[in-house]
Structure 1
Amino acid sequence: MDDQGSEVEKNHQHDGFVSSGDELEHDQPQDDQGETAELVIVDPDATDVDFNHGRIAKIENLEQLTCVETLCLRQNLITKIEGLSTLTTLVELDLYDNQLTKIENLDALVNLRILDLSFNRLTKIENLASLVNLQKLFLIHNKLTKIENIDHLVNLEMLELGSNRIRVMENISALVNLTSLFIGKNKISKLQGMETLVNLRTLSMQTNRITKIEGLETLVNLEDIYLSDNGVEVIEGLEHNTKLTTLDLAKNRLSTIQNVGHLTELQEFWFNDNKVSGWKEIEALVPLKKLETVYMERNPLYYEGGNTFKVDPAYRRKIKLTLPWVKQIDATLAH
């Protein structure tokens, strides 16, 4: 548990920082009528306490922990945040995959830097007023409809809101130290409200309702943009994002590759499942000499003679001829 922070981060960023994709497709924890367990502290001097998957129904009996820094209660049956008021030394609290319905009783945890309340039943972001030292907040797969009550968390570096019911990007302009923002698998239709997030390096907005790339002009430090599974029709609005190394526009409505020639740091270009039919479009990537990986499968040009049941046998060779320095085409290494 000493490196729990990095473990949490890895768990939430698998598949290219995708926190809202397949790994979120499991059921919410169900009410369990079986036997439950009690929290029993064996070592009062422990700094890392781990009660994962322990059928614990209530947070209690923790008063004797005088120097605990990490408390992990993942995959239990906890319905209420309580019993934590004496744990002022706590730096990380992990309540991933429980049955919580409300954020509460965290006021005493003023030293908390990492909070994970993912895979619960939360409907509102609230009661985080005292957590001003928070650096990472994970709220994946809840029932949140609004981004609110976090504008005071100015030390936040990572915000994870994937797989909720959020419709509007709002109330994040004060989070100027944010480097990673994940709001995939929501109901957002417009990229907005990020002008002040000049330190942002990773933006993940996969599986939303976005039709236009916009609002990124001031985000000059962006390195990774994930916009797959939206309704984008034109590549635009990236004029100032010259530090990009990953551009994910897979599963959109794009028929042309354009406005990318200035992205000379780009290494990953994910463009599969779009509407590109002409091989000449690939030439737009020729200026990108650092490009290593290109995904173009399941575009019309991927198939032979418009027959979606037969892959063009020359597909990979054609890409390789145009982009001979590329190391990977789709999921396979280029030879």
Structure 2
Amino acid sequence: MPDQDVVSTSSEEEMDLEKAEDKGELGDMKTFTWDADTLDIDLNHQRISRIENLQDCPRLETLCLRWNLLTRIEGLGALPCLTELDLYDNQLTKIEGLEALVNLEELDLSVNRITTIENLSHLTNLKKLFLCMNKIQVIENLEGLQALEMLELGDNKIRKIANLDSLTNLTSLYLGKNKINKIENLDKLTKLRVLSLQSDRITVMEGLQQLAQLEQLYLSHNGISQIDGLEGNPQLNTLDLASNRIAKLENMAHLTELEEFWCNDNQVSDWVDLAQLNGAKQLQTVYLERNPLAQDVNYRRKLKMALPTLTQIDATLTR
């Protein structure tokens, strides 16, 4: 996969911001008033360039400033009760200004221009952290976030899964659309239920042995040629291997809890391989389109006969 930088603001947008500043067209939080009993503030798409004027609402619990023009995280020192902060799609380059938010449980800094994970260690109550679509290269400085249950780092520039050992309460980990070429360093995440590594550079299914509670595994759009390494994941109910280089269904007979199996856009050609799915008595959805066996004129009928529990074949219901 070619390298591709994803940034939240283009040079053209930066020029628009400068023009707006010159014309005084930016949104101003000073024009809004709140009282001491205010619990929620939602100011989406207001062209706000600065977080301010929040000192009069110390009981504030949720603050949403999506789709604005913020360049700094500031003005939050008087909000000790804040539990949710949403700064999705702004122009932030640095994680800062969160020192007072000791009760924060959910933080969304997705679609910005952040390069480094930092200044989060004091957020010991944080349960959900969203940092997708930034410019982060290294997973780091998360050791203090032991309450974290969900971590979203998709669409960054990360090359290695690392520094996650302390996040033992993590149940969902999203690392798709990065530059990761190996599944590794996940052994301590024994509570993990959802793992997404879509659109990376993975060629081997490995490093999953200790994830006995894993229920959903997403590995589509990689370079995998063999189904393997799932012996320790008997609870899988969703397995996504679409758009890889797989020619044979194998090493899956023990996945008896499987409900959805996506293997479209591969190289599977032998109908005998479907016997690997016979033990999955709750299997409802199978995607095998754009495999050689899908060219059979009786494709749908044969698939339904082989797997009678199916209610959906590819994108179409069976009845």
TM normalised by structure 2 equals 0.92
State the match for 2:302 in structure 1: 318
Instruction: Report how far residue 284 of structure 1 moved.
Output: 1.8
Q: How does 1:36-115 map to 2 (within 5 A)?
A: 36-39=26-29, 40-115=32-107
State the match for 1:18 in structure 2: none
1:130 correspondence with 2:122: yes
Instruction: Report how far residue 26 of structure 1 moved.
Output: 8.8
How many pairs are equivalent?
303
Question: C-alpha distance in 1, partners of 2:52/2:141?
Answer: 27
Equivalent residue letter for 2:43: F
State the match for 1:119 in structure 2: 111
Instruction: Report how far residue 110 of structure 1 moved.
Output: 0.5
State the match for 1:255 in structure 2: 247
State the match for 2:199 in structure 1: 207
Equivalent residue letter for 2:313: I
Q: Deviations for 1:267-302, whole angstroms, at most 9, x for unmatched residues?
A: 000000011112222222122111100000001111
SS in 2 for 1:212: coil
Identical columns (%): 55
Question: C-alpha distance in 1, partners of 2:80/2:188?
Answer: 32
1:282 correspondence with 2:274: yes
State the match for 1:327 in structure 2: 311
State the match for 2:288 in structure 1: 296
Instruction: Report how far residue 242 of structure 1 moved.
Output: 0.6
Give me the CA root mean square deviation: 1.3
Equivalent residue letter for 1:317: R
Q: Deviations for 1:127-154, whole angstroms, at most 9, x for unmatched residues?
A: 1121111100000100000100002110
Equivalent residue letter for 1:248: D
Equivalent residue letter for 1:210: I
State the match for 1:306 in structure 2: none
Instruction: Report how far residue 126 of structure 1 moved.
Output: 0.6
Instruction: Report how far residue 99 of structure 1 moved.
Output: 0.4
Question: C-alpha distance in 1, partners of 2:148/2:127?
Answer: 4
State the match for 2:177 in structure 1: 185
Structure 2, gaps ≥5 residues long: none
Q: Deviations for 1:87-133, whole angstroms, at most 9, x for unmatched residues?
A: 11110100000000000111111110100000000011011121111
SS in 1 for 2:269: coil
Which of 185, 189, 196 matches 1:197?
A: 189
State the match for 1:13 in structure 2: none
Question: C-alpha distance in 1, partners of 2:150/2:143?
Answer: 13
Q: Is the 8 A contact 1:107 1:129 kept in 2?
A: no
Question: C-alpha distance in 1, partners of 2:256/2:274?
Answer: 15
Instruction: Report how far residue 85 of structure 1 moved.
Output: 1.0
State the match for 1:241 in structure 2: 233
Following superposition, which runs of at least 4 residues in structure 1 exceed 4 angstroms of deviation? none
Q: Deviations for 1:203-260, whole angstroms, at most 9, x for unmatched residues?
A: 0110000111111111100000000001111111111111110001111110000111
Q: Is the 8 A contact 1:224 1:245 kept in 2?
A: yes
TM normalised by structure 1 equals 0.88
SS in 2 for 1:159: strand
Instruction: Report how far residue 43 of structure 1 moved.
Output: 3.3
Instruction: Report how far residue 317 of structure 1 moved.
Output: 0.9
Question: C-alpha distance in 2, partners of 1:217/1:324?
Answer: 30
State the match for 2:258 in structure 1: 266
